[in-house]
Amino acid sequence: MQFEGEPINSADLPMGLAGAGPIDADAVSVVLVPHLDRIYAEMGRLCAPRGGDPHRWVNPEFHGWWVARDCAVAVDVGTGMLDAYDRFLARFCESYHPAYNGGLPLIHPQPAGIAVTDPNAQFVGWHAITILRVAEDQSGAMRVYFYNPNNDSGQDWGAGVVVSTGGHGERYGEGSLPFEQFLSRLYLFHDQPLREGTGAEVPAGLLTRVLDMARESWATDRVPA
């Protein structure tokens, strides 16, 4: 693979976090995962001196050209504290919610980062997913449909946030959450840097509800003084 025009050969790299590879996976994954793991780690190493979240640069190179080149992060990477969180929330709505982006559908899947919480809504860690689409379910509720590469998309993230894998318009392999619940656990997403506002203004009430859900879960200790 290449990273910003420079070739990266997994054969030249040390073993990564995946070790020799998974043993409970399909044959293709068993062969590829160790190589991809080494390349991913090397991309992260190359980005480390830049500061900020390395996914800003790694994701478009690792996943492909379809990943939007701009990246929004909810926290200051150095401190872990929320950073311009209101703007982060509004920007996601303006980018992904049809009511606030002029009705534009998501054309290509986009990698994103979730602040995973346990059934008690306590922070567990950062986790990568892929946003597949944002659409209304059968009842008219707006939901975010995503792929969660953990072999079990159906998870209880606490405080009533339970990922659904069926019954709300999910396609095979998808998990989903109501839009606001999903946003309350989101900490990183990609967006086009030249996007102009074309939809309705994001209601202050929506932002307040999402902020409250975040503060009652993963962001409890991340609100700046």
**Residue 14, CB-side half-sphere exposure with 13 Å CA sphere:** 3
Report which of 128, 118, 218, 134 is spatially closest to residue 176, judged by C-alpha positions.
134
Is 148 in a helix, a strand, or coil?
coil
Residue 15: what pLDDT? Answer: 83
pTM of the model: 0.91
Task: Extract the tokens encoding 103.
Answer: 């009705």
Contacts 24+ apart (CB under 8 A), 17-24: 17/41
Q: Is the dihedral of CA 28, 188, 220, 47 positive or negative?
A: positive
Residue 196: what pLDDT? Answer: 64
pLDDT along the chain (225 residues), means of 10: 94 80 77 91 94 91 93 94 97 95 94 96 95 98 92 80 95 96 98 72 97 97 90
Residue 26: what pLDDT? Answer: 83
Residue 30: what pLDDT? Answer: 84
Task: Extract the tokens encoding 209.
Answer: 């509800």
Q: Hey, how many other C-beta atoms are within 10 angstroms of the C-beta on 196? A: 7
Residue 16: what pLDDT? Answer: 76
Report angle CA 9, 10, 15 to the nearest 5 degrees: 150
Task: Extract the tokens encoding 76.
Answer: 């200051």
Residue 197: what pLDDT? Answer: 60
Give the burial class of 161: count Cβ atoms within 10 A of its Cβ; 0-12 exposed, 13-18 middle, 19 or more buried: buried
Give Cβ neighbours of residue 192 (< 8 Å, ≥ 6 apart): 68, 69, 70, 95
